[in-house]
Amino acid sequence: MLLRLPTSVSEARDCLAEGAIPVGGATLIWAAWQRDGFPEQAVSLRKVPEATAVGNGVLGGAVLLGQVDERVPEVLRQAAKGVGTGAVRRAATVGGNIAGSSLRDLLPAAIVLDAWADVLTADGVEQVDLAEVQAKSPVLLSLRWREPVKGAYAKVADPAGGEVPTIAAAALDTEGVLRVAVREGYVVSSGSAGAGGGGVDELFAGPLSGLSDTGRSLARRQVTAVLGE
C-alpha cells in the first residue's frame, strides 16, 4: 500500500481522484484492511495545513484527538478527551471520529457549537452542515464554528453492560440561542431554545422528548451549567 502525504488541498484532491482511501490514525481502518485486504493507496491529510489547523474557530480533520486543547471550546475539548484510551487519542483524528466512526463522540459537541464542515470534493472545498457529514461521511478538511459564550459536556463513565455511553452537551451562543445535543445508543437528538424560539421546557417536550430518564437528566444538568440556573 502506498501512503500518500499531500501538502496542499489540490494535491489531496488529486490523490482522492486517483482512488486513494482517506486514512487518519488507522485506529479503526487498519483492522478492516487486515481483514479485507489493503488498498493500493491511502491518503493522509496530516501535511495539509488546512487539515492541521487548531484555533480561531477551526479544528482540522487531521488533528489528533490528543492535540485538541484550550484553543478550541471546552465542549469540544471535553469530547476529545473522553474518546477511548490515551493510546487511541494519540493516534485517532478528528476526521476519523466525526466522519469515519460510528460512535462519533465529537458530534454532540459539534452540534451544540452549530459547527459546519469544510469537506474535500472533486470540485474543491465545500462547506456542508453536520447532517451531511453524518449522512455522507465526506472527506473532512476541518470543522468550523463561532465561539460560544459558554458550554457544558458530560459523558457517562463506564455504563453497565458495555452499553454505548450516553453523552449530553449544551452551549449558549452570542445571540442567546441555547443548543442541546444528546447521544443515546448511536442516536443523536438535538434542538435549540431561546432568541425568538421556544423555551427550554419546549425543547425537552419537543425535539428531546424521546430521551430516556438518564439522558434527560444528564442534558438538564448541562443546561443548568450553561444557563447558571
Residue closest to 166 by CA, chosen among 176, 157, 174: 157
Residues 151-190 that bind ligand FAD (CB under 6 A): none
One residue of 101, 142, 166, 192 binding ligand FAD per CB under 6 A: 101
* Centroid of chain to Cα 2: 28
Q: Shortest approach of ligand FAD to residue 162 CB, angstroms?
A: 12
CA distance 223 to 229: 8
Q: Shortest approach of ligand FAD to residue 193 CB, angstroms?
A: 26
One residue of 6, 61, 151, 207 binding ligand FAD per CB under 6 A: 61
Paired residues of 116 in beta bridges: 129, 144
Helix (H) or strand (E) holding 134: helix 130-136
C-alpha cell at 125: 472545498
Q: Per rule CB under 6 A, is residue 219 in the interface with ligand FAD?
A: no
Q: Per rule CB under 6 A, is residue 27 in the interface with ligand FAD?
A: yes
Tell whether the torsion through CA atoms of 157, 161, 163 and 166 is positive or negative. negative
One residue of 11, 14, 16, 21 binding ligand FAD per CB under 6 A: 21
C-alpha cell at 34: 487486515
Binding residues for ligand FAD, rule CB under 6 A, total 30
For ligand FAD, the binding residues (CB under 6 A) are 21-29, 45, 61, 83-85, 88, 91-93, 95-97, 99-101, 103-105, 137, 139-140
